[in-house]
Amino acid sequence: MASGPSLDFLSTSFSLSRVDDARLTPLQEGTSSAIALPLVDRPANFLRDAFAGAAEKDRLHFAHGTTTLAFVFQGGIIAAVDSRASMGQYVGSGTVKKIIEINPYLLGTMAGGAADCSFWERDLGRRCRLYQLRNKQRISVAAASKLLANTVYGYKGMGLSMGTMIMGWDVSGPHLHYVDSEGTRLKGNKFSVGSGSTYAYGVLDAGYSWDMGVEDAIHLARRSIYHATHRDAASGGVINVYHVKEEGWVKISSDDMMIIHEQVKAEKKAVDDAAEAVEGAAASGAETVAAVGSAADPTAAQDTGDASAASRGDVPPPASST
């Protein structure tokens, strides 16, 4: 067999191969880059069936990642993620880097299976580099996301779990694509992926606008992930935020979610204090009106309520009190 350095990395894709003792020597099997399939009738079901009768403690659990989001706006793309990897009930890690730096101008996020995401996005980086070397220009974001989508489509049904967003700024501007292990590939301006995505969407949709400033966008992204970590058991840890600009991506911040929790609490308190101050001013204004109207009027209390409601602009003032 060939004794020189292996040039496997120049081949475009990882092939699936049936592991067959007669065909491959142990050295070849251990050193090949082909992805091995078990030699059973239905390899897609094999892993699930292997643990079907097993006790919970003996089952294989793979690291799963959870809340991620990204959106495009006038200043580029903001991506924010949490950092918890759960393996069944156990927290495998609280410091996972779920934003994968594919190359200096392309980012990918990780949700679903951690090994699946990191392996295939690293493979995507390899193929983007090959494209760049062969074509003397950078690959577009659309092409990169399509490479990934087509790769995982070849493993469809075999149990890969991957929900990722590929984002970057190429010659035609900032682009964001969602790619998952089912083969879905969607272009869009706003995505959130993972078990905590519903919570993140709520906050993100409420606060998003295309014309946001960069600081507001970062603040919104951070808060959206925070709310997801707060309510989703499988999300937590540190909130990482990246910004994709024309020159490439830059890491903005990495804050423990409890720090963001204190910030949100302080902001809410400030808003509540301000509202109370307004209400206090309105109430004292309304009391003066009622006192002038009638001293022992049984509907004075009602008048006060209505008057203060009027000062808030909700309810028209009563025509006259009886």
Partner 1 sequence: MDALGLLRPAASVSGLPAAHVPHAASGFALGDHAGRAPAAPAEGPGVVASASSGPLQRRFEPYQNNGGTVLAVAGKDFCVVASDTRLGLGYSIPSRKVSRILKMTDKVVLASSGMQADMMTLHKTLRMRLVKYQQNHQKDMSLTAASQMLSNMLYTRRFFPYYTFNVLGGIDEKGEGWAYGYDAIGSHEKVSAVCSGTGQTLIQPVLDNQIEFKQQWGAPKVDLSLEATVELIRDAFTSAGERDIYTGDYVEICKITKDGVEVEEFQLKFD
Among 85, 106, 124, 257, binds partner 1 (CB under 8 A): 85
Nearest to partner 1 of 57, 134 (CB atom): 57
Examine residue 113 and tell whether it contacts partner 1 (CB under 8 A).
Answer: yes
Per CB under 8 A, contacts with partner 1 among 277-316 are none
Burial label for 308, CB within 10 Å (0-12, 13-18, 19+), is: buried
Among 23, 40, 280, 301, binds partner 1 (CB under 8 A): 40
Among residues 1, 7, 10, 27, the one that binds partner 1 under rule CB under 8 A: 27
From 12, 25, 31, 66, active-site residue: 66
Query: Closer CB to partner 1, residue 53 or residue 313?
Result: 53
Q: Which of 141, 147, 144 is nearest to 170 (CA)?
A: 141
Q: Which is nearer to partner 1, 240 or 304 (CB)?
A: 240
Residue from 77, 114, 128, 193 that binds partner 1 (CB under 8 A)? 114
Reference 59, options 72, 48, 71; nearest CA is 48
Nearest partner of 236 among 58, 52, 36, 91, judged by Cα: 91
Give the one residue of 20, 49, 247, 279 binding partner 1; rule: CB under 8 A. Answer: 49
Per-position b or e across 250-287, b if 16+ CB within 10 A of its CB: eebbebebeebeeebeeeeeeeeeeeeeeeeebeeebe
Q: Quick one: which of 24, 92, 101, 154 contacts partner 1 (CB under 8 A)? A: 92
Residue 287: both structure tokens together: 């009391």
Q: Closest distance between partner 1 and the C-beta of residue 241, in Å?
A: 20
Rule CB under 8 A: say whether 116 interacts with partner 1. yes
The rounded distance, in Å, linking the Cα atoms of 42 and 51 is 15
Is residue 299 flagged as an active site residue? Answer: no
Based on the shown chain and the rule CB under 8 A, indicate whether residue 201 belongs to the binding site for partner 1.
Answer: no
Sign, Cα dihedral of 130, 132, 135, 136: negative
How many other C-beta atoms can be found within 10 angstroms of the C-beta atom of residue 64?
23
Give backbone dihedrals phi and psi of 18, rounded to 5 degrees, phi first: -85, 125
Question: Given the rule CB under 8 A, which residues bind partner 1?
Answer: 5, 19, 26-27, 29-38, 40, 43, 45-47, 49-55, 57-58, 60-63, 85, 87, 90, 92-97, 113-116, 118-119, 158-160
Residues that are catalytic: 66
